[in-house]
Each structure stands twice: as C-alpha cells, then as structure tokens.
Amino acid sequence: MDGSLDRMRFSVVIPAHNEAPLLPAGLEAIARAAERHGGDVEIIVVANRCTDSTPVLALEAGAVVVTSDARNISTVRNAGAVAATGEILVTIDADCLMSPDALSEIERLLGTGRYVGGGTRVRPERSSAGIRATYLLVRVITLLTGLSGGMFWCRRADFEAVGGFDEALLVAEDVDFARRLRAHGRRSGRRIVELRSAPVVASCRKFDRFGDWHMFGMVLQLRQIRAAASGRDTAWADRYFFDFNR
C-alpha cells in the first residue's frame, strides 16, 4: 500500500439534534484542527429533527448541512457519510471538542499503511469521583477489547467495505462498527488504533443531568436497555439519546 496520502480530503461528520448551545465550539475546534493540518477538510452537520438554530449555525460556520428525521444514530451518521466527498471519514459527536492535532495524526497513521482506522482517547470536560470511576471502567473495557470510541475515523473505502454503521442497532452501534472495522482490517493486514496523543474533550452533560455515578446504576436498567437494543421498546434510548436535547 502506498505510504503517502498526498493531503487526502477529510470529511468530518457531526450528528446534531438540537445542538445550538454546543455546536459552535465543536465547529471551532474542527476548524483549528483543519488549519493545523493544512489540507482540504469538509464539515458535514447532519441536522436530526432539529427545532433550534443548529442548521443555521452550521451553515454560518461553512459546514454542509444534511437533514435526517431518523430516530437512529446509525442512520444519522450514515446520512452524513453518503453526503461526504472526502477520502477519509471522521465522525465526532456535537458535544465533543476535537484535538488540534487530530487530523494531522490521522493522516500520519493512515499513511503508514499499518492501520485501517480507529477511535480516540476521551477526556471529560470536568472531573469528579463518579466521572473518574466511569472513565476508568471504560478504559479497562477498552484495554480488554482492543476497541476504542470517542471519534471514529477511517478511509472512505474501508467505511463502505464494512457497510458503515448498522442501522438495525439503536444502541452500541459504535462498538459494533469498531468490531467490524477491526475484522475488515485484519483481512488486509491492518489493525485499528486509538489516537492517544490527540484526545477529544467530551461534554459531561449526561452526568450533569443523570448524576455523576449514573452509569453504574444502569445495571438496574438492563431490561430497558435490552428492550431498546432489540427495538421492542425505545423508551430508554429515547430518554438517554434521541430526545435528550428536546
């Protein structure tokens, strides 16, 4: 495989449901990363059932705006990927801040030919005992599985080869995507990797609303989570994801 990307075009996809309060900061962070990278970077905001100024803010920042009414994050991410024209796809949530070095580091790693793509280390915007315990648990799971999330990235060709995000899944679509991308990479002698030197900074708004220890309490909600995962009852997914910014 050719080790040089020759400044390949990036497409950054951002799912956004009523994200007016946080989207501008996220777009500014991507703009800083694009400036440091020095290449061609396209930003695509997928306005999902928005009733606020999210689409307007995105357009004012120079982003491409795609609309989607789906109550399914996989469908929303895939809609952005379909509209993308870049050779490298990156998807990041609207409440996360991209590192200034992220795009340059992605280009460097893909340029080696050793990696199919991967995720990114995540840092919370604030800290507490509950948040530190949650992130430690996530870190242990990451080390055990070899999978990471936070911000996914890969070549467009590899994204299409694995079929993008699975639209049959309402939850854990990120873990599923990472697993399939890893399996695809192994078939061509490449592996997934985590961007450790260019972490995203994640909003703590879920902790703010549900409590800093709330993820440990999810063990008591396994029945609702399983029902959401199977599509039988989406009440839990609606509350925690799809209608969070209503």
Q: Which phi and psi angles does 159 have, rounded to 5°?
A: -60, -45
165: confidence class by pLDDT, cuts 50, 70, 90: very high
Residues whose CB is less than 8 angstroms from the CB of residue 99 and which lie 6 or more positions away in sequence, other chains included: 29, 33, 105, 120, 195, 198, 199, 200
Q: Measured in whole angstroms, how far is the alpha carbon of residue 227 from the centre of its chain?
A: 23
Q: What are the counts of helices (DSSP H) followed by strands (DSSP E) for the chain?
A: 10, 8
Percent of the chain residues past pLDDT 90, beyond the cut: 79
Measure the CA–CA gap between 2 and 157, rounded to whole angstroms. Answer: 15
Alpha carbon distance 186, 24 (integer Å): 38
Distance CA 17, CA 127 (A): 25
Q: Helix 102-111 crosses helix 23-37 at what angle (to 10 degrees)? A: 50
Range of lowest pLDDT (13-27, 140-154, 181-195): 140-154
pLDDT number for residue 232 = 77
228's tokens: 């959401």
Q: pLDDT for 47-71, tens place per residue?
A: 999 999 999 999 999 999 999 999 9
Task: State the Rg of the chain over Cα.
Answer: 17
DSSP alpha helix (H) spans, 52-148: 54-60, 73-83, 102-111, 129-145
pLDDT in tens, 59-105: 999 999 999 999 999 999 999 999 999 999 999 999 999 999 999 99
CATH no., domain 10-242: 3.90.550.10
Query: Distance between CA 104 and CA 39 in Å, rounded?
Result: 9
Q: Three-state SS across 24-38?
A: HHHHHHHHHHHHHHC
Question: Which pLDDT score is estimated for 6?
Answer: 60
